[in-house]
A and B are shown apart, each in its own frame.
Chain A
Amino acid sequence: MNQKVFKDAKSALTGVKDNMTILVGGFGLCGIPENLIVALKETGVKNLTCVSNNAGVDDFGLGLLLQTKQIKKMISSYVGENATFEKQFLSGELEVELCPQGTLAERLRAGGAGIPAFFTPTGVGTLVAQGKEVRNIDGRDYVLEKAIKGDFALVRAWKGDKFGNLIYRKTARNFNPMAATAGKITVAEVEELVEIGDLDPDQIHTPGVFVQRIFKAPSLEKRIEQRTVRKN
């Protein structure tokens, strides 16, 4: 029987090396694999290319790896929340590929799905399309974008079983499912780790075939970026 269960983030990152491409799930701080990110920082690996929609904030999420300068290149759609990021970007210390959010989502989906490249209308006529093939299909221009795959994919789910089947919760889902399919080694940190057979097959968002390693998160801070409430 396939042994996918690891005891913690550190052991689940065995084999991560300098210069690797790491895919990281999450939108803002929502749904980020918090423990894996800290463990990644603690491995001390450097020159990483990180693919994630956002770059966390200065002291949480991927921002932690920016502070230790372990990231050589980021591929993201929006980095506004992170002042360290913007500074390193504007000064040239950090290489950045800004990619439209939908294109980023689809590049990851394609990477896991065996689609090497695809056409999208997004970004035609803008800086995003520079240097890329643009083709007119049925009267509209589309730009050719390439799939993204990673050496490792770090994802966070709500529930997972020991086969690696994953269920996500609410808007913490976001980029995690696509990242999970596109990593050579996908590591999932889950809030609840259950036995094979405990999850209803109809409820599964990521079939376990995509997941190589899984561990139960000891705790999750689940930091909120913009706590917004209404009065009663």
Chain B
Amino acid sequence: MPLTREQIAKRISQEVQPNYVVNLGIGIPTLVANYIPESMGVMLQSENGLLGIGPFPLENEVDADLINAGKQTVTAVKGASFFSSSDSFAMIRGGHVDLTVLGAMQVDQEGNIANWMIPGKMIKGMGGAMDLVAGAQRVIVAMQHTDKDGTPKLLKKCTLPLTGVKCIKKIVTDFGVLDITPQGFVLIEHAPDLSPEQVVSATGASVEISKECRPMKI
């Protein structure tokens, strides 16, 4: 059985260090926040101008002027700050965000990522994704290993328009954890119910199985 979205998020939360400033993209990445203990002193950054995203509000706390990048109403933690979008992207582009987690449609063995457009079908726009992959200190991709019909999303070469070039070094999917090195994909962990070979055969490029490859601990 591949991992659930929650389990992918939980595994990614293990990459978060104390006092990190972290930006979480919409979708699976937002779930990572649920697994970061308050005691770690992590500050969640929202590209629309908030450092210190708190939990969703109670009914009577909802404030239309306080939303996250996914347009959901949120709260702000103690020590939070509000600022403009140009200041927000100075934070992001200027390398002040320790970790960003975002989704992907495709990632290839060179570390290219595509997550903003399907020509002729879906053109929602890139939002902050291009700035995040260009600016964050560390980037982790959270994604499904294949499409619903089993088509690989980890490829030799992205076919969709790129979000960033040679910027991805770590991917967590519902099948496992892969690093991208100059030699390509390396499988370092596999979902507990799958074998490393199953992960490799669902990948659209060659994958080196690390000598230390082990089941994900979630």
A residues in contact (CB < 8 Å) with B: 27-31, 53, 76-81, 86, 89-90, 96, 98, 100-103, 105-106, 108-109, 120-128, 158, 168-178, 205, 222-230, 232
For chain B, the bracket of interface size reads: 35 or more
Q: Assess the B82–A122 pair: CB atoms within 8 A.
A: no
Known: A27-B49, A122-B135. A101 touches B85 (CB 8 A): yes
Residues of B within 8 A of A174 (CB): 48-49, 84-85
Q: Which of B9-17, B62-70, B174-182, B205-213 contacts the other chain?
A: B62-70
Secondary structure type dominating chain A contacts? loop
Is the C-beta of B146 less than 8 angstroms from some C-beta in chain A? no
Q: C-beta contact mask, B116-153 vs A, less than 8 Å → 1, else 0?
A: 01001011111111110011000000000000000000
Binds A, one of B35-43, B98-106, B161-169: B161-169
Residue ranges of B at the interface with A (Cβ–Cβ < 8 Å) = 46-50, 55-59, 62-67, 70-74, 76, 82-86, 88-89, 92-93, 112, 117, 120, 122-131, 134-135, 161-166
A229-B49 in contact (CB<8A):
no
B82 and A100 within 8 A (CB): no
Known: A98-B123, A172-B65. 16 other contacts (CB 8 A): A79-B123, A96-B123, A98-B126, A100-B127, A101-B47, A102-B47, A105-B88, A109-B86, A122-B135, A127-B161, A171-B46, A205-B84, A223-B64, A227-B73, A229-B73, A230-B55
List, in ascending order, chain B residues with CB within 8 A of A101's CB: 47, 85, 89, 126-128, 131
B161 contacts A126, CB within 8 Å?
A: yes
**B56 neighbours in A (Cβ, 8 Å):** 228-230
